[in-house]
Amino acid sequence: MSGVLAGLRVLEFAAIGPVPWCGMLLADLGADIVRIERPGSHGEPDTLGAVRRGRTCVEIDLKTPDGRRDALALAAAADVLLEGLRPGAMERLGLGPDDARARNPRLVYARMTGWGQTGPLAQQAGHDINYIALTGALHAIGTPDRPLPPLNLVGDYGGGGAFLAIGLLAAAWEARRSGHGRTLDVSMVDGSAALMATLYSRLQMGQWRDERGVNRLDGGLPWYDTYRTGDGRFVAVGALEPAFYAALVRGLDLEADLPDRDAEAHWPEIRRQFAARFASRTRDEWAAHFAGTDACVTPVLSLAEAPRHPHPAARGSFVAAGTGHVPAAAFLFDGVRPPPGPASTSASPQQAIQAWSSGTAPR
């Protein structure tokens, strides 16, 4: 094992969305992760192993006494336990925080849900779109006539998995000093709300309007938006600051034609002229035209194109997998990016228990 989290033992109960994504981050950083999966479920749904990489996978039937015994034996040797079931489900299995910590007082018991462990919606089903809908995030994203889901990046991964990783690492740091673990309640509602902190602050200061398509960062500004190019593709424009805006206007050869951008009444005309000019060339022609400038113009790349762009390619942001690419580990330490966690491997519960009991990684 290598990496900054080498020696950190994480027991992950199979779930969807933010739990395995958080496990991916921890595995890329060198944590030793054993993932408990339902019998017969190994290998689905992440066929390339991009998210499930870096684990030892064991199949355990948690509904049997033997399965619960094996799970508790692994929890007894772990630093962190990750679970993403509805509130109360682990307790009904006899695997709740009190059950696990009776065997391991230092255990950090990290719980990931959409609504949280408490509150009137705690037991209700939901998905990313529902969680961000209650935080104002979904309301703020989309076109003026309708909100649009931003994939599941805000709730599952930004508001869920990222906050889960931060919280459990903080609790694990404390446990190493205090000798006592904590039960961590992370919800996508809470995390998504935290992601909106800047916008809520701007709203209170009168710097943000509570509607879509009229603000600085939601497409309201003509110089912070996307434009269709002559080949039907798009460029992204982010020329917020005056110097960047000047470079954009100069690059579009519109210095003599545009009205003052400080007057909101002029924005439709500015947008019209931008759209007409960008439609006169292809996306890649504009990308080449603005290369090396501070106009903040970039091509909008497809998932297939992004790994081949010179910048992420030079940084190693993606790695080859199957017939395409998957994201690499997202951290550089002293200028070096750790390799992504290895492909997941399988082990029996007894092999995993023995490996952790003997202080070796079950690989």
The whole-number pLDDT of residue 47 equals 58
Q: What is the pLDDT along the chain (363 residues), one digit of tens a residue?
A: 479 999 999 999 999 999 999 999 999 999 999 999 999 875 555 656 789 899 999 999 999 999 999 999 999 999 999 999 999 999 999 999 999 999 999 999 999 999 999 999 999 999 999 999 999 999 999 999 999 999 999 999 999 999 999 999 999 999 999 999 999 999 999 999 999 999 999 999 999 999 999 999 999 999 999 999 999 999 999 999 999 999 999 999 999 989 999 999 999 999 999 999 999 999 999 999 999 999 999 999 999 999 999 999 999 999 998 888 999 999 999 999 988 878 888 999 999 999 998 765 433
The whole-number pLDDT of residue 40 equals 84
CA–CA dist 350, 71 (Å, integer): 10
127 is catalytic: yes
Contacts of 252-261 with CB under 8 Å at 24 or more apart are 252/277, 252/278, 253/277, 261/222, 261/223
**DSSP letter string over 85-144?**
SPTTHHHHTT-SHHHHHHH-TT-EEEEEESS-SSSTTTTS---HHHHHHTTTHHHHSEET
156 is catalytic: yes
Q: Is 233 left (phi over 0), alpha (psi -120 to 50) or beta?
A: beta
Q: Write down the residue that tokens 């994480």 correspond to.
A: 10
* 3, 331, 338 from 334: Cα distances, Å: 12, 10, 10
**β-bridge partners, 113:** 187
Adjacency order of strands within the sheet including 80-83: 183-187, 108-113, 80-83, 9-13, 32-37, 55-59, 345-346
Q: Are 344 and 56 in contact (CB under 8 A)?
A: yes
Q: Where in the chain is the domain with CATH 3.40.50.10540?
A: 9-195+329-358
**Three-point CA angle 166, 10, 167, nearest 5°:** 15
User: Among residues 79, 156, 218, 225, which one is catalytic?
Assistant: 156
Characterize the bridge pairing of strands 224-228 and 183-187: unpaired
Answer yes or no: CATH 1.20.120.80 is held by domain 224-306.
Answer: no
User: Among residues 42, 46, 99, 127, which one is catalytic?
Assistant: 127
Alpha-helix runs per DSSP H in 144-302: 162-178, 188-195, 197-204, 242-251, 267-278, 283-290
The whole-number pLDDT of residue 359 equals 66
CA–CA dist 324, 318 (Å, integer): 10
Q: Is the peptide bond before 45 cis (omega within 30 degrees of 0)?
A: yes
Q: Where in the chain is the domain with CATH 3.30.1540.10?
A: 224-306
Q: Say which CATH topology domain 9-195+329-358 has.
A: Rossmann fold (3.40.50)
